[in-house]
A and B are shown apart, each in its own frame.
Chain A
């Protein structure tokens, strides 16, 4: 049987290798660079984000010439990969969890079209309430999507399986997933062996496929072949069933070739892989089946039991598609009691792996008992101690005192809670009267009076000096009455509702990263409906809150809300990056600014495009109220909040965008925020204005009183992440930014002067 990569079976390998200290994501990045891809489509999501960060760094440094393209969503990123592949290029993508599900529509299209590529999946549970830790429910979603699936239990395997995967994928014209455990592998630093010469890897995987594809020599074709035009992705009727047969036959070809590919990889690397890894005693009564890191951790338990004279068996499937039924059944051997432990559940049914194994055993007339346990969700680890508990379970089941434990299918590590727990009330709900301080005040703003506005939230865990809640709280002082919040995923959401406590004193809902806007539409429609029927006693103002990233991935839905003129306020805090996931670039960022996936190096100088202007994008919707605000201009912000609320009360859509500092990722002292945003406003990097039904009014004119400053003066205030923009090397790029900012400012002024614009 096969032995794991961390235990080299062959000391000899034909390729020179070197030791490399890295985490799982860095190992994947290294494999991507070694393989030589034409392109990576990218969109960040924890815990896979740093693969793209490493690749973009290598690009900036000139180590690779692959096209690194940041999409506006995971679906966009995979669409980019699809375009690369249909052109005949070699594409790779990386994602996790929700990101994978957003790609869902594209996934079966890629396999159906026979486009080989590799998608690295740093597994993470798919869920709500949101949890970013490990789980295999994302992986399980892919099982029927026609992708080859390779498992990588270790950091070493994450590197190796990438090399195997692209080889097989291109040989059979199917896409492949390499699944490694989020955090437990993606963020685990280990010593691994990597090939010292890229040539060795490239010989193994074969040359970049374009030339052969163009000539039709590898069973597929290039869209760019104008000499021989072909139609890709036709409309198909009854014939579709034949396409399905073709796909299945490809999996059989993959199954047939895999042993030789693994053997060849072993000759090259000295590391042996197979369809399944069996460890321990095949003749043992008890067997544990587990995937990835859990399977790896369980080996220490197998050893410990063997030492005590208790032989047990362990089976770790390494390939899920094509499913190696024969090999798994053989590996299970003589076991009579098999615990199949899975990092996911198929609620209301047997779990995936358990069902698959049960069916296989039945076909082989093996009547061993299968006990199913879901483990390791939401941050719970699985160590050798847990594996020992599984073997103990196999021994004693079903003689257990807890009736739940006696069930064939149950959860390991869940707890029932204390039903007598009745905590004291600590919050008196806010009343509309308490929260009405702006009514009848017209243009007058008295900050001292507004100190009486009750906090709709407080006591969060954002970084000290963070602009998000400063800004939002100030804005809310201009909002009267009852408020209902909808938040997109982002720092704002993550730091306020760590279960079981909430910072919100008013109703709050976090749905997904990108659709607080559409969710708000659903809510306000119901407000209208229930009010009309007299069933909803109080008026509410619905406020959707998002980061600037949420309006990259959710831009289409925001436009929809604006076009439908749905009566809610959409509040964007713009901190110039995807801060929650580690400061990746957002389209709002300034040209030449640095992000974790837009590096400074000989080939690249930070972000390559100018900052997005969302107000101008939304201008075309002719929404009734669009405005920009800054905490540095408190009265201006309060007036705009009032107008936004008035707009919503009159049945219209209001969009408000605030500039918001991120001391952590900007590398800025915590106390500098107020003066930094003031500088940003004065430099016209975030001019303060409003657009009512398409008519522009500048509310804070930087040209008045000689307040306008060069953009560099703002960058100087913005912390270490912007410091490079003050160096002579960046002068030409910064000049470009200045020119663009001035051009936009002049345009804005021209519009403000015109009666119709």
Chain B
């Protein structure tokens, strides 16, 4: 495509995009589509790599797309650790995953959030660059699209991909939901807020290197885990559940125990001495199975659905 220029370029000639998402967000699909548009419509070259692990719904996953001019040799593999553009599908991933690590000076960060760029800047401790905030969750909900679509729309915009090429491809890829997806992209572009920041507050941080307190000197024989000190008790599942927990109305509860038979995670429901006392919102996965089975009594159901997902 004549006239198209990559907005960023590293030492090797690549513009590196990293998408940090949760399994089920559709980040892989979005990245793949972006890669195809870049290569097939714009004549770019590059790569699309993913850090595949166990992709259960709600577990963090990274996908990365790198673009270069044709003729550049694509030799590096694996997700980029030094993105020019970072896409964060849930603002609450920023802190636990230390997403500010490795961000290049002047990076663009696209974040799904209701917050303003200034607040996100401080959460990210962004050295310098641009923050684009978009309420992708709401837009996806309102347009009956998926979370990945508004984010993809903004990402393509920040990459300065021609709008028509992108929209045509999205429509072709998912013809049955083309309208919803395109509405989500447009909605994102009209409602996003962006702000640039100079190098005034935060230092540059190198990419994260895996290091933990347990290493080859003190790992237990054969990689055994000591359950007395290393249970998942302290884990916070709110990321995966996205703060979506049922509402509990104790006055309607007979402590019949039926919810207990269906709960996705035995840590989700709080029972004390044979009585149901509530939901542990740190572990509840927000599946609403318990709501489905909780019997209707004269006082109504003890467990009820909550509204739209909320950002914790």
Question: Which residues of A approach B to under 8 Å, CB–CB?
Answer: 6-7, 21, 46-47, 128-129, 132, 181, 183-185, 187-191, 293, 296-297, 299-300, 304, 379-381, 383-384, 411, 414-419, 421, 423-427, 429, 446-452, 455, 457-466, 469-470, 473-474, 491, 494-495, 497, 499-508, 580, 631, 634, 663-664, 670-675
CB contact between A421 and one of B214, B228, B264, B267 (< 8 Å): that residue: B214
Whose C-beta in chain B lies nearest to the C-beta of A670? B287
Q: Is B233 an interface residue (CB 8 A)?
A: yes
Min C-beta distance of A656 to chain B, whole Å: 16
User: Which 7 A-B pairs rank lowest in CB-CB distance, beginning with the nearest?
Assistant: A417-B215, A447-B257, A458-B267, A463-B57, A464-B285, A465-B287, A421-B213
Q: Which of B87-95, B131-139, B156-164, B218-226 contacts A (4 or more CB under 8 A)?
A: B218-226
Q: Residues of B contacting A675 with CB < 8 Å?
A: 292
A450 closest partner in B (C-beta) = B257
**Measured CA separation A458–B265 after assembly (Å):** 6
- Selected from A455, A460, A500, the residue in CB contact (under 8 A) with B214 is A500
Contact B255–A448 (Cβ < 8 Å)? yes
Q: A417-B214, A419-B218 are in contact. Are A464 and B233 (CB under 8 A)?
A: no
29 A-B pairs, CB-CB below 8 angstroms? A6-B73, A21-B36, A46-B52, A187-B52, A188-B78, A189-B49, A297-B75, A297-B77, A300-B76, A415-B216, A417-B215, A418-B213, A426-B230, A448-B274, A450-B257, A455-B266, A458-B232, A463-B57, A470-B264, A494-B56, A501-B225, A501-B235, A502-B227, A502-B231, A502-B232, A505-B231, A631-B262, A673-B289, A674-B292
Q: Interface on chain A toward B: helix, strand, loop, or mixed SS?
A: loop
Q: Do A664 and B215 touch (CB < 8 A)?
A: no
Partner of B73 from the list A47, A299, A381, A448 (CB cut-off 8 Å) is A299
| With A416-B217, A451-B255, A451-B260: A499-B225 Cβ-Cβ less than 8 Å | yes
Contact A189 B48 (CB under 8 A): yes
Q: Which residue of B lies closest to A300 (CB)?
A: B75
Considering the chains assembled together, what is the distance between the CA atoms of A451 and B266 in angstroms?
A: 10
Check B96 for interface membership: any CB of A closer than 8 A.
no
B312 on interface, CB distance cutoff 8 Å: no
Contacts of A181 in B (CB 8 A): 77
Give how many B residues have a beta carbon under 8 Å from the other chain's beta carbons. Answer: 81
Is the CB–CB distance between A671 and B287 below 8 Å?
yes
Complex: how many Å from CA A447 to CA B260?
Answer: 8
Q: Which candidate, B39-47, B111-119, B176-184, B195-203, is the interface stretch facing chain A?
A: B39-47
Q: Which residue of B lies closest to A579 (CB)?
A: B56
Complex Cα distance A346/B23, Å?
36
Decide if B286 touches A464 in the complex (CB within 8 Å). yes
Neighbouring B residues of A447 by C-beta, 8 Å: 256-258, 260-261
In the assembled complex, B299 has its CB within 8 A of some CB on chain A: no
Q: Nearest chain-A residue to B54 (Cβ)?
A: A494
Beyond known contacts A128-B223, A299-B73, A663-B57: 10 more, CB 8 A cutoff: A188-B47, A297-B75, A384-B75, A417-B218, A448-B257, A450-B260, A462-B264, A474-B260, A500-B212, A673-B289
Residue on B nearest A452 in the bound complex, by CB: B274
What is the bound-complex CA distance between A238 and B47, given in angstroms? Answer: 54
Known: A464-B241, A502-B227, A675-B292. A417 touches B287 (CB 8 A): no
* B273: chain A residues within 8 A (beta carbon): 452
Q: In the complex, what distance in Å separates the CA atom of A508 from the CA atom of B220?
A: 15
Q: Does B298 belong to the interface (CB within 8 Å)?
A: no
A258 CB → nearest B CB, Å = 25
Chain A residues closer than 8 Å to B78, beta-carbon distance: 183-184, 188, 381, 383
Given the complex, which residues of A lie within 8 Å of B283, measured CB to CB? 458-459
Considering the complex, give the chain B residue whose CB is closest to the CB of A156. Answer: B74
Is B106 in the interface zone, CB < 8 Å from A?
no
In the assembled complex, the Cα of A181 lies from the Cα of B78 at a distance in Å of: 11
Q: Are B32 and A189 in contact (CB under 8 A)?
A: yes
CA distance A502 to B77 in the complex (A): 31
Q: How far is the CA of A296 from the CA of B155 in the complex (A)?
A: 29
- B12 within 8 A of partner (CB): yes
Partner of A183, one of B52, B57, B222, B223: B52
Other-chain residue from B35, B45, B227 in contact with A505 (beta carbon distance below 8 A): B227
Measured between beta carbons, the chain A residues less than 8 angstroms from B293 are 674
- Chain A residue nearest to B232 (CB atoms) is A459
Task: Kindly identify which residue among A188, A580, A674 contacts B49, using a CB–CB cutoff of 8 Å.
Answer: A188
B35 engages A674 (CB within 8 Å)? no
Closest A residue by C-beta to B273: A452
- The residue in chain B whose Cβ has the minimal distance to the Cβ of A661 is B289
CB distance B217 to A417 under 8 Å?
yes
Q: Which of B13-64 contact A (CB under 8 A)?
A: 23-24, 32, 35-36, 39-40, 45-54, 56-59
Instruction: Report the Cα distance A253→B231, complex, angstroms.
Output: 58
- Residues of the A chain whose Cβ atoms lie less than 8 Å from the Cβ of B39: 21, 191
CB distance from B156 to the nearest CB of A (A): 17
Expressed in whole angstroms, the Cα–Cα distance for A189 and B210 within the complex equals 25
**A461–B35 contact, CB under 8 A?**
no
0/1 interface trace, chain B 246-275, chain A, CB 8 Å (1 if under): 000000000111101111111100010111
